[in-house]
């Protein structure tokens, strides 16, 4: 591999830190999606440039099911003096929790579980069999979206509209290899704009698609319109809804093993408190959740703070750190609409010094893992996938030096 050897002054990694680490924590965003899954950004370069403008120094790509953005992410980040982290996200199924009706980190579907792999090897080292399984999932997901599109086209034909959606056109204009539900929603919104210049006409068009239900969003708010298209047309109960193929949901244990084989750190994304301050069944009992995660080989967790109350999230974070978990934060940016890359809690609340420090420490540990795995084939996890807790400070200090080698001020 030797990717990092070309970039890192290895002699600088041996020097004592002294008081060198005493400054404020760098801004970090460890979870960003690109157009290779679905993104608020038009391209990788736009994401990296916005991060640089906001002085966010460490950025982690975190697309669903794909590593295709890694080359551009690496190139653009290093070109702009930022440190790249290479992550991935999966959607799995815990059959036992589904059977028990236990919601994990999907509030609507018992057993369904979002999982991330952090600090994967770059270049990609995943075995061919695993890549084939992942490509199968993307293919099935594309087929599901195409079936949804066909249902939308059937509605258009039934109502004697003389136009239709085309899957390859959607893919070439809005997506890469994956065409997701959000891409379809965007294509429908842009179709409405192109065919009906007047807002009143667009609203009538949506009313037809929604089976008589009105569009409540401001027609000029593109993100809100696309979200409403998803909820009223493409989700369960909508006329174009198509249920997912069960084969697209890997067992959560299988996902863990794929992440390990990819050289990464299995990571559990906490949903945490919702708009009403409630938690899922799994996350509501934090001590039990922490024990379950460790039992399953998860020693790293992440939050998307924009959806959480600052103080409630901090309460969870501090307990997780106390129990030895590596904690990082991100923003996703996997929905339409512009938002900051700098991480804030709900309502634009800035993260306090404790949370900034914890996020930076987590990023340093991830950076150390990427470097060590590249050099030695083993990073911050031992051969059994257990985090080497006794070396935590050592890893954080090494990661600090590594990031300093890349980041420009």
pLDDT, tens only, 321-350: 999 999 999 999 988 888 999 999 999 999
Digit-coded pLDDT (tens) for 122-158: 999 999 999 999 999 999 999 999 999 999 999 999 9
**Whether residues 327 and 229 fall in one domain:** no
Q: What is the pLDDT of residue 255?
A: 97
Label residue 340 exposed, middle or buried (CB < 10 Å: 0-12, 13-18, 19+): middle
Number of structural domains (the chain) is 2
DSSP for 264-287 reads -EEEEEE----TTS---HHHHSHH
**Whether residues 218 and 161 fall in one domain:** yes
**Whether residues 224 and 335 fall in one domain:** no
pLDDT higher than 80, residue 19? no
pLDDT higher than 70, residue 225? yes
Digit-coded pLDDT (tens) for 40-68: 899 999 999 999 999 999 999 999 999 99
**Whether residues 118 and 147 fall in one domain:** no
Q: Are residues 167 and 146 in contact, defined by beta-carbon separation less than 8 angstroms?
A: yes
Digit-coded pLDDT (tens) for 152-203: 999 999 999 999 999 999 999 999 999 999 999 999 999 999 999 999 999 9
**Whether residues 270 and 150 fall in one domain:** no
Choose the final residue of a domain: 182, 217, 234.
Answer: 234
**Whether residues 295 and 366 fall in one domain:** yes
Give the whole-angstrom CA distance, residue 37 versus residue 338. 17
Buried b (16+ CB within 10 A) or exposed e, 385-397: eebeeeeeeebbb
DSSP for 312-357 reads HHHHHHHHHHHTT-EEEE--B--SSS---SS-EEGGGEEP-HHHHH
- Once rounded to an integer, what is the mean pLDDT over residues 209-231? 96
- Once rounded to an integer, what is the mean pLDDT over residues 23-27? 88
pLDDT higher than 90, residue 14? no
**Whether residues 302 and 226 fall in one domain:** no
User: Domain range spanning residue 402?
Assistant: 4-125+262-406
Q: What is the pLDDT of residue 1?
A: 66
pLDDT higher than 90, residue 250? yes
Is position 304 within any domain?
yes
For residue 197, the tally of other CB atoms under 10 A from its CB is 8
Helix (H/G/I), strand (E/B), else coil: 162: coil
Q: How confident is the model at residue 406 (pLDDT cuts 50, 70, 90)?
A: very high
pLDDT higher than 80, residue 22? no
pLDDT higher than 70, residue 221? yes
Give the whole-angstrom CA distance, residue 329 versus residue 56. 12
Give the whole-angstrom CA distance, residue 63 versus residue 137. 14
Is position 72 within any domain?
yes
pLDDT higher than 80, residue 104? yes
pLDDT higher than 80, residue 15? no
Digit-coded pLDDT (tens) for 301-326: 999 999 999 999 999 999 999 999 99
pTM for the whole structure: 0.94
Give the whole-angstrom CA distance, residue 365 versus residue 293. 19
**Whether residues 97 and 189 fall in one domain:** no
Q: What is the pLDDT of residue 20?
A: 65
Query: For residue 265, which phi and psi values (nearest 5 degrees)?
Result: -115, 115
Is position 252 within any domain?
no
């Amino acid at each position: 591999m030797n990717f990092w050897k070309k970039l890192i002054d290895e002699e600088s990694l041996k020097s004592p830190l002294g008081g060198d680490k005493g400054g404020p924590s760098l801004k970090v965003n460890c979870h960003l999606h690109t157009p290779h899954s679905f993104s608020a950004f038009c391209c990788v370069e736009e994401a990296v440039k916005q991060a640089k403008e906001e002085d966010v120094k460490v950025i982690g790509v975190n697309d669903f099911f794909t590593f295709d953005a890694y080359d551009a992410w690496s190139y653009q980040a290093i070109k702009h003096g930022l440190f790249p982290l290479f992550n991935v996200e999966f959607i799995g199924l815990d059959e036992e929790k589904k059977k028990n009706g236990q919601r994990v980190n999907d509030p609507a579907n018992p057993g369904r579980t979002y999982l991330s792999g952090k600090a994967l090897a770059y270049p990609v080292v995943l075995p061919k069999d695993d890549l084939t399984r992942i490509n199968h999932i993307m293919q099935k997901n594309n087929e599901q979206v195409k079936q949804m599109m066909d249902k939308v086209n059937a509605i258009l034909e039934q109502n004697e509209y003389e136009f239709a959606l085309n899957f390859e056109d959607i893919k070439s204009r809005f997506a890469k290899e994956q065409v997701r539900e959000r891409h379809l929603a965007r294509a429908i919104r842009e179709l409405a704009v192109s065919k009906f210049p007047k807002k009143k006409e667009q609203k009538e068009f949506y009313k037809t698609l929604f089976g008589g239900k009105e569009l409540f969003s401001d027609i000029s708010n593109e993100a809100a319109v696309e979200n409403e298209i998803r909820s009223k047309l493409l989700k369960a109960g909508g006329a174009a809804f198509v249920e997912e193929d069960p084969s697209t949901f890997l067992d959560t244990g299988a996902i863990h093993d794929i992440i390990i084989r990819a050289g990464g750190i299995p990571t559990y994304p906490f949903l945490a408190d919702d708009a009403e301050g409630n938690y899922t069944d799994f996350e509501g009992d934090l001590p039990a959740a922490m024990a379950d995660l460790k039992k399953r080989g998860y020693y790293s967790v992440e939050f998307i703070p924009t959806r959480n109350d600052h103080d409630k999230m901090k309460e969870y974070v501090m307990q997780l750190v106390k129990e030895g978990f590596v904690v990082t934060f991100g923003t996703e940016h996997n929905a339409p609409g512009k938002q900051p890359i700098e991480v804030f809690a709900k309502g634009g609340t800035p993260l306090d010094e404790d949370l900034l420090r914890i996020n930076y420490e987590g990023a340093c540990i991830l950076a150390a893992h990427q470097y060590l795995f590249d050099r030695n084939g083993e990073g911050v996890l031992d051969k059994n996938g257990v985090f080497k807790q006794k070396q935590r400070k050592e890893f954080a200090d090494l990661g600090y030096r590594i990031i300093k080698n890349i980041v420009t001020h």
